[in-house]
Amino acid sequence: MSNITATRPMQGSSTPIVLTIAGSDSGGGAGIQADIKAISATGSYACSVITAITAQNTLGVSAIFPIPLEHVEKQLDAVFTDLNVVAVKVGMLADCDIIKIVAAKIKQYQPAFLVVDPVMVATSGDLLLQTSAINTLKSELLPLADLITPNLPEGAALIDCEVPDNEDSMATMIAGLRQLGATAVLLKGGHLEQDENSNDLLILSEQVHHFAAKRINTRNTHGTGCTLSSAIASYLAQGRELLEAVRLGKQYISQAIAHADELAIGKGHGPVNHFFSGHADVR
């Protein structure tokens, strides 16, 4: 595994700014809280727009309160009209109207990079996206994305197929995922728990790249998807090419999971260790 060393923007250069648009996790392990930690730990500046407030801990989600649409819009305008947002990471959006306003603001302000983590199900199994909103997500937001990062259940929901139970059936999703309209799709294979490695597919228009990481035996995996997508957005904001940003993001999340058991947080699925080596960049 690569060494982790502190990183700062070059003297005289602007700080790479990443906006996360997502829900708040009161337990601190996923959502906005995980995004801000991952963006900060990988060397960028994090700002945020909160779309929903969840009552959530390591055991599950007990309530979701969508932020009023007018206030979501005001948050977006406040950030975009002042800060030089280079990359945007989108997570939990909760309903159709919020998806539509986020898509409209992305079109209006045109950040350089858009990474969408189509959050639908929490680690605990709780539904985080209304079923009726999936079609709106597909039609309004995903075609704007430079990268979407579904896990296997999310990918299956997006293209209406069975959830794969092996790598061969995972590969059959490639054509359907390309039709969603995003520039690239990172299909995460972490749910294939019987496999020794956690293998992901980076699906481009004409190529597929494989990323393999040793599977780590821990129950502390809360917020892995949020963390990975935020790290990738952070590296894109710093000027990395997509393939390199995904590689670095994968290395970062692998280390964060490997160090997760150093934390003792909650009674259920604990969080990954975002700051396993201070404010860091993977080299």
Annotated active-site residue in 226, 227, 250, 270: 226
> Known catalytic residue: 223?
yes
> Known catalytic residue: 221?
yes
Measured distance CA(125)–CA(192) in Å, rounded: 16
Annotated active-site residue in 58, 136, 221, 227: 221
Annotated active-site residue in 43, 224, 227, 249: 224
Tokens of 141: 């937001």
- To 10 degrees, the CA torsion angle through 111, 135, 60, 217? -70
Measured distance CA(195)–CA(129) in Å, rounded: 28
> Known catalytic residue: 183?
no
Measured distance CA(100)–CA(29) in Å, rounded: 27
> Known catalytic residue: 226?
yes
Angle 163-27-214 from CA coordinates, rounded to 5°: 45
- To 10 degrees, the CA torsion angle through 65, 70, 73, 75? -70
- In single-letter form, the type of residue at position 177 comes to L
Distances (CA, A) of 164 to 97, 188, 222: 31, 11, 21
Annotated active-site residue in 29, 91, 223, 249: 223
Does residue 236 come out as left (phi exceeding 0), alpha (psi in the -120 to 50 range) or beta?
alpha
Annotated active-site residue in 54, 188, 190, 270: 188
As annotated, the active-site residues are: 188, 221, 223-226
